[in-house]
Structure 1
């Protein structure tokens, strides 16, 4: 559910440029096309769709028992009397997904400091739309499951999977107004914040205050590291692992450690570009010298140059750029393979839980997004962005009903590591219907592409 990183609006494709200073190597013939592919905005959605299709296909194949049993494989770590044993799916959902949530924390921090949520006037509409898109689906689910054990899954239809949404918008090309893209991306960020709150409050059964206190101490140490200016990553990695373990043992979901550390990441650079240019001018003179003693020190100067150049961007920007693709193209696909495998049976679709999830996504999401947006605009708290009509917003609001990654994640929290097959069926069917309806209505409401005259 990642929000794509800001793109270069100048029209240049920096990823297609070959640095003339670097020699051509055989590996570049593979690496450069792959890099271009990974930087296409919709690619992560395509990879996610493929992994989802593979998981569903294998779960309904003759190899289903082997495939589904793979994720129940026990992983055991024992040190002395301490033993840490969980299923492979649990390791993925609680461990590997912490990287996903760390990147979410970075994205939320970026939007709060520099992005669309930094200005309350711009943020009001996506906040209102996201609140509607969470409250109405959850209310539909609760109303349909009230008094039943499965009411615990009320958080499932609340979140939007932005990777799939971006993929759908990319298929429509330039016809989609930029204002709709920005609104849906901002909505997804607020959705993420809401999902984090839901996970922390709604799906914590018990608390071990000892481990929770340990987590608080480690978070304090991380803040102290930042305060005294520690810029090397290893101390933070060690502290992050300890914080993850403490949250995991405390009863609070361990992935919240990733969110908290992401939100704590500094968003300002230590060195302004002007000072860096002065340093480069001074250093260039050293590289022009031909004296032996100067050449011996070049290794030291290169290391210093690397360190200083790193400080010209904020830790938040550096980490988000470095980890975004790992999260989008490794963590989320593995999560999909481990959780999207559903053995489809026609009777599952008629199950009350599946119906509640489907209605929450297909009906609740667009009604909530459009209804709360309308109220915010009519009350004067927000205004409709220029170039975005109510009909286009109504069509786009159906895409908000594509709930996949976070919906499956909350399904696991509500019904155990393996999740609930009928709830998963509702997620996949509801998301598919939402995607088809959103694409169809957008094709109908968006302006037709101009016909090129010969």
Structure 2
């Protein structure tokens, strides 16, 4: 699950706004009776003789939160279709941990709160608040957080699926068949909208409103309309033909600027990205900056007077919520991760230790958004609701403190090593691209970019080094395409990997270095033809998820080591910071040659 800097910034600012709204809600609720009176203000929608009334509290929880669940559903659909969860080997550990993080907290809650009369509210403790989780990582700032963040975000997707399923299956009291059928018919029509040549946006919007009203009148929690609609929104990786068409239209506009070409280029550019990803990008700021803060303002307002706190301290419901979130999440996620490793179901990403997973598992006890939503759904008694809400707030604070303590303790215990001075992943002949004997006493690892002119110059130097040392050195190539400066570098890296699958990657690399200013797709296909590759297979491999993932894994390692320039060399496992000329590098290698 790769997210850009803009996404991370949105999540962090959203988490800050969520915290501010939470504090504001608590302060408002404790200032007098205005809080409850405001959120119970009636709001009514009427069409002819038909009308539906909701107070502001339910308008937020049932209607506004449908947009939040729509955004969650879009992300779930993307990850299941083209994201991290399509690869079993990468997803199995966080997915297994997420399932345990759903089940174990519920069991802990039931064990403690079984006699409270609110045992059916176990759903309160199963969900992690992703926004607060990401914000917490930003505040704690553990060393090298990128792999932990990816692990936790992958876990959060499965967590969301489980929480949404629990709402649908266990917190629906009664069903009214006719409006449910109306909602199902509308969902069927939404599935067909993708076949329309144009005007799909308005149709999606109208039919989504029908689904929401249908589910609401059927007795199903209406927020699930957002998930149901999102799962039917198509998602696909950009097709190369569409991208090439954008290039053609842009070239036409550059040669003859006119409104028709501008409109066509804009439309083709928009259509080249699937509607799922366009909607994710469009909705994210509104969800983070508006919907979730308003939800917190409507749901976190609990009166923290002495009576409420005294009642909570002696309530098994309160302690069930706290223990379920704080203890259940920590034990469930950490234990499942250990078990998955022991059973060899999957492996943790390089640089991600079980200690860091435990720190992330502790932070996963921050169960806010869906936890507070389920409090309102599952518990009718206002006093019990207050106890559960206090429990959610207390658990979130404790989970943050515990997670911060674990991660900072780990950072304090390990030696302080400047990022990038030690190679994260040693040479692995089963995976790496290399020249030379695998048992050579000297290992030279290069992170490079096929569009980088400095890397091109370094190739001659590397050839000299190999010639000088002969069988005493093995040279290893890893990808680090610098997207901001070299827009064709990633595609070139994928082409190199596609050539590797036919055993001709070194021959292909020579053509890449010789034509650094000609790395468009058609150029890459031409080079493959020049060295006699199977073009049909090459083009299929060029677009394959496995090939892209192989390049991204090298990038992730570089990110984790804070390596951001090319070429970057490591001798053995230590970073080399000297000049790139052959005599200087040969001297550096000689200095690190193992003594007999």
TM-score (norm 2): 0.66
What is the alpha-carbon distance in structure 1 between the residues aligned to residue 107 and residue 180 of structure 2? 31
- Which residue is 1:7 aligned to? 4
TM-fit CA distance, 1:434:
0.6
> Shift in Å at residue 206 of structure 1?
0.6
The alpha-carbon deviation at position 343 of structure 1 amounts to 0.6
Residue 40 of structure 1: how far off its partner (Å): 5.3
1:314 is aligned to 274
| Superposition map of 1:192-207 within 5 A | 192-207=160-175
Please tell me whether the aligned partners of residues 351 and 422 of structure 1 are also in contact (alpha carbons under 8 angstroms).
yes
Does structure 1 conserve the Cα–Cα contact (< 8 Å) formed by 2:142 and 2:408? Answer: no
Whole-angstrom distance in 2 between the partners of 1:248 and 1:370: 38
Given candidates 176, 185, 191, the residue that maps to 1:208 is: 176
Q: Does 1:324 align with 2:284?
A: yes
Distance in 1, matches of 2:207 and 2:376, equals 27
Structure 1 residues 181-218: Cα deviation after superposition (integer angstroms, max 9, x where no partner): 11111111111000110000010111111111111110
1:417 Cα offset (Å): 10
Matched with 1:341 is 301
Deviations 1:33-83 (A, max 9, x none): xxx9x935521111111111111111122xx31022111111112222211
Instruction: Identify the residue that residue 29 of structure 1 maps to in structure 2.
Output: none
Residue aligned with 2:195, SS: helix
The answer as to 2:421 corresponding to 1:424 is no
- CA–CA distance in 2 between the matches of 1:417 and 1:405? 20
| Structure 1 residue aligned with 2:401 | 436
CA–CA distance in structure 2, aligned partners of residues 112 and 352 of structure 1: 38
Report the Cα distance in structure 2 between the residues aligned to 1:88 and 1:352, rounded to whole angstroms: 30
State yes or no: 1:50 paired with 2:47. no
RMSD: 2.1
Task: Summarize the alignment of residues 45-444 of structure 1 with structure 2, pairs less than 5 Å apart.
Answer: 45-61=15-31, 64-146=32-114, 148-173=116-141, 175-268=143-236, 269=238, 272-287=242-257, 298-344=258-304, 345-347=308-310, 348-416=312-380, 420-444=385-409
Alpha-carbon offset, residue 234 of structure 1:
1.0
Relative to 1, partners in 2 of residues 1:135 and 1:186: Cα closer, same or farther, differing over 3 Å? same
* Structure possessing the higher relative contact order (Cα contacts under 8 Å, 6 or more residues apart): 1
- Which ranges of 4 or more aligned residues in structure 1 deviate by more than 4 Å? 416-419, 447-452
- Rounded Cα–Cα distance in structure 2 between residues aligned with 1:355 and 1:103: 32
Contact 1:208 1:250 in 2 (8 A): yes
Q: 1:89 to 1:300 in 2, by over 3 A?
A: same
Indicate the SS of the match to 1:272. Answer: helix
Secondary structure in 1 matching 2:51: strand
SS of equivalent residue, structure 2 residue 118: helix
Q: How far 1:349 moved relative to its partner?
A: 3.0
Q: Distance in 1 between matches of 2:362 and 2:253?
A: 56
Conserved in 2, the CA contact under 8 Å of 1:177 and 1:388?
Answer: no
Q: In structure 2, what is the Cα distance between the partners aligned to 1:123 and 1:451?
A: 30
For residues 278-325 of structure 1, give each alpha carbon's deviation from its aligned partner in whole angstroms, at most 9, with x where no partner exists.
1222233332xxxxxxxxxx4444333322221121111111001101
Q: Per the alignment, in what secondary structure is the counterpart of residue 33 of structure 2?
A: helix
Rounded to whole Å, the distance in 2 between the matches of 1:41 and 1:93 is 21
Contact kept, 8 Å, 1:133 with 1:368, in 2: the verdict is yes
- The answer to whether the 8 Å contact 2:326/2:362 transfers is yes
The answer on whether the counterparts of 1:107 and 1:320 sit within 8 Å (CA) in structure 2 is yes
For 1:78 and 1:368, locate their aligned partners in 2 and report how far apart those are by CA, in whole Å: 48
- How many matched pairs? 410
Structure 1: where are the runs of 5+ without partners? 9-14, 16-35, 288-297
Question: Larger radius of gyration, structure 1 or 2?
Answer: 2
**Larger CA deviation: 336-345 vs 269-278:** 269-278
Deviation per residue, 1:421-450 (Å, 9 max, x gap): 100010000111011111111100124655
Distance in 2 (CA, whole Å) between partners of 1:398 and 1:164 is: 13
Q: Which runs of 5+ in 2 are unaligned?
A: 420-596
Asked whether the 8 Å contact 1:106–1:262 carries over to 2, the reply is: yes
- Distance in 1 (CA, whole Å) between partners of 2:335 and 2:68 is 31
Q: 1:39 to 1:392 in 2, by over 3 A?
A: closer
Cα contact 2:116–2:317 (8 A) shared by 1: no
Equivalent in the alignment of 2:472: none
Kept in 2, the 8 Å contact 1:161–1:406? The answer is yes
What CA deviation, in whole Å up to 9, does each residue of 1:387-417 have, x standing for no partner? 1122222222100100000100111110249
How far apart are residue 227 of structure 1 and its match? 2.5
Task: Give distance in 2, aligned partners of 1:276 and 1:207.
Answer: 48
Question: TM-score under structure 1 normalisation?
Answer: 0.86
3-state SS in 1 of match to 2:220:
coil
